[in-house]
Amino acid sequence: MPPKPLAVYIHWPYCKSKCPYCDFFKRVQKNVPQEKIVRAYLKELNFYHRLLPNRSVCSVFFGGGTPSLILPDNINRLLEYIFKLWKHEPDVEISLEANPNSEYPDMFRQLRRAGINRLSLGVQALNDNDLRFLGRTHNLKQALHSIDEVLKNFNNHSMDLIYARPNQTLDNWQQEMEQAIAFGFKHLSLYQLTIENGTPFAKKNIQTLDEECAANMYAYTVNYLRKLGYPRYEVSNFAPAAYESIHNKCYWEGGDYIGIGESAHGRLTLNGKFYALDNPPAQNGFSAKRHKEILTATERAEELLIMGLRLQKGIDKSRFKTQCGLDFDEFINQKAATSLEKQGLLVNHPNNLAATDDGFLLLDNLIMQLCS
């Protein structure tokens, strides 16, 4: 078989401030030495090219942190180097996450000129009170201006929103969804607010919306967007088929990807073995040592189940066996699968296993039972 296409994730951990709900690795720092960091990224890319010289790249994703803080010249420099090392697929997707408060005039036009062809805008809420509550550094006016700029400069774009905020009602969320759809984004990423241990929200004992209200919001969202041509293709992501994220589907479908930068991780198939790689945070932020671990067939199978069941289409059993070497029906807990199917939470066909609409509301529990 030809080598698998490769997805490249570039992690920019730096932010101007940290949102109180965020539990990702980030550094809040001014005067970031971009030249030094970019040189370190180029060295990492060289390392992976020596390891994987014959791959082609299907996607590049600049995540963070706040990757819209990277100077466009440095983005272009990284992209040119990636495509000097590897060929790319004809429909290569080059995504960047951006905050609505632009760092300089015509930021989005410059990002487009730097080589970004898909822009993901982290709006998170469409009113000033909730933006302040979420610790966002932009207001609604800035968000609306940035939305206009993104739509003007990109043909492929996505907007992030957070729902199930404290005191949010279903009516509030319905109005927000109607407004979001009216903008005309090709893709929507909608995340339920969760309070993670160690975050400022957890330390303040902030309480999320009760589970029933949150479930009602999610069910409404799925049905509403489906009718408007934005079907759920992953638990939190909605888009017509042509605008599903190539990069993120690589994660969910068990593809190969490399992570560049501090705290980034990757998954690789090499010589018939599957590797987990990560770059743990370094004391000075530049010299993180890569960890490489061979995953057992069972560990690989568990990851494929956890990620694959997030997809609307579920898990292709034949592909599963090709990816980990185990028979899917023998790997899962069949007693649990039968019970969950009878409860209307799973659809289990000979070639495929997928969650139902009700199953998506209990996805973590389904996965736990299938792996037990």
Task: Note whether 193 and 324 are same-domain residues.
Answer: no
Task: Note whether 196 and 107 are same-domain residues.
Answer: yes
Task: Note whether 81 and 215 are same-domain residues.
Answer: yes
Residue 267, in any domain of the structure = no
Task: Note whether 370 and 239 are same-domain residues.
Answer: no
Task: Note whether 37 and 133 are same-domain residues.
Answer: yes
In single-letter form, the type of residue at position 14 comes to Y
Task: Note whether 333 and 233 are same-domain residues.
Answer: no
Task: Note whether 38 and 145 are same-domain residues.
Answer: yes
Q: Provide the whole-model pTM.
A: 0.94
Q: What is the CATH number of the domain that holds 365?
A: 1.10.10.920
Mean pLDDT by 10 residues, the chain (372 residues): 86 86 74 91 94 95 93 97 96 96 86 98 96 93 96 98 95 96 98 89 88 95 98 98 98 96 91 87 59 93 98 97 96 97 97 97 96 92
- Determine the structural domain holding residue 51 and report its residue range: 6-250
Task: Note whether 336 and 244 are same-domain residues.
Answer: no
Q: What is the CATH number of the domain that holds 235?
A: 3.20.20.70
Domains of the chain: total:
2
Strand partners, 62: 10, 96
Task: Note whether 237 and 328 are same-domain residues.
Answer: no
Task: Note whether 218 and 325 are same-domain residues.
Answer: no
DSSP code of 180? Answer: H
Task: Note whether 81 and 14 are same-domain residues.
Answer: yes
Residue environment code for 41-74, b if the CB has 16+ CB neighbours within 10 A, otherwise e: bbebbeebbeebeebebbbbbbbbbbbbbbbbeb
pLDDT in tens, 64-101: 889 999 999 999 999 999 999 999 999 999 999 999 98
Task: Note whether 109 and 189 are same-domain residues.
Answer: yes
Residue 279, in any domain of the structure = no
Q: Which of 250, 284, 309 is the last residue of a domain?
A: 250
Instruction: Say if CB 235 and CB 363 are below 8 A apart.
Output: yes
